[in-house]
Amino acid sequence: MNQSSAIPTFTGTCSNCGAALGGTFCSRCGQEHRHERLRVSHWLHDGLDAAASLDSRVWRTIAALTVRPGRMARDYVEGRRAPFVGPLRYAVATCALWFFAVVLVNDEAETSAIWWIEYGQLINLASVPFMAATYQLPFLASRYNYAETLTFTLYATGHVFLWRAGLAASSVVGVPGNVLLIADNVLYLGYTAWALWQFHAGRVRWRPLRIFGALLGALIFGAALNVALMLLSPPA
C-alpha cells in the first residue's frame, strides 16, 4: 500500500460534507479544512482551544451580566451570540451551583424537612418560563416577543442564582439568615429593574411604570407559588 495515499491532500471541497470551500472553514458544516496529516499536536491544540474558548465565554458572560445585563441580553437576542454562553445553559449551570452550595452549607435534615425547600432551586428554574410571562405582559407593545423575553429572563435569573450560591456560602461565616433574605430581595429587585431598563432602552414609552408592573407581577407570582407549595406540602 502506498503510504502517501493516507496523507490528506488539498482539495476545493469539504472532506466532511463535500461543499465547495471558500475559506478555512466550511460554510455548510463548519468543519476546519486542514491539508496536513493528523498528528497528536492537533489534538492538544484543539483541546486547549476548546477549553480556552469555553473559559473565555463563561467569564465574558458573567462579567457582562454583572455590568450590563440588559444590554448583553439584547445583544444576544439581536444576533451577537458567539461571545456568550447560551441562556439556558447558563441558567441550568448556575442553578446547579446554587443547589450544591445549599447542600454543602446546610444540614441534610434541615434541607429535607420540607420537600419544596429541598427542591427549591429546581422549582425556581422551572418557574422561569412563567416569570418571563410576567416580564412580557407590561411590555407587549415592545419589539420583543415572548421567546426573546425568555432569553432575557434566563440570563437575569441565572445571574440571580449565581449570587444566591454566594449568599448560601456566606452563611458559613455566620451571616444571619434574615440578613441574607433581605439582601437577596434587595439585590433581586434592584438588579432586575436595572436589567429591564437596559433591555428595553429606547423601545417603549412609560418604561419606569412598565418595569414596576413587571416586578409587581413577578412578586405576585412568587407569592402565589409559595402559597401553592405550602398547600401541597403533606402534613408533618
Pairwise CA distance, residues 85 & 155, whole Å: 10
**Does 168 have pLDDT greater than 70?**
yes
Average pLDDT, the chain: 80
Identify the pLDDT of residue 39: 63
**Tens-place pLDDT, residues 5-32:** 444 455 677 877 878 877 777 877 877 7
Residue predicted with more confidence, 30 or 49? 30
Nine-digit cell string for 159: 445571574
**Tens-place pLDDT, residues 76-88:** 999 999 889 899 9
Query: Hey, what's the torsion of the CAs at 4, 10, 12, 14, to 10 degrees?
Result: 70
Identify the pLDDT of residue 114: 45
Instruction: Give me the sign of the Cα torsion angle 202, 204, 207, 210.
Output: negative
Q: With bands split at pLDDT 50, 70 and 90, how would you rate the model's confidence at 58? A: confident
Average pLDDT over residues 164-189: 79
Asked if residues 164 and 91 have their Cβ atoms less than 8 Å apart, the reply is no
Identify the pLDDT of residue 112: 46
Percent residues over pLDDT 90 in the chain: 38
Sketch the domain layout of the chain as residue ranges.
65-232
Average pLDDT over residues 75-104: 89
Identify the pLDDT of residue 123: 86
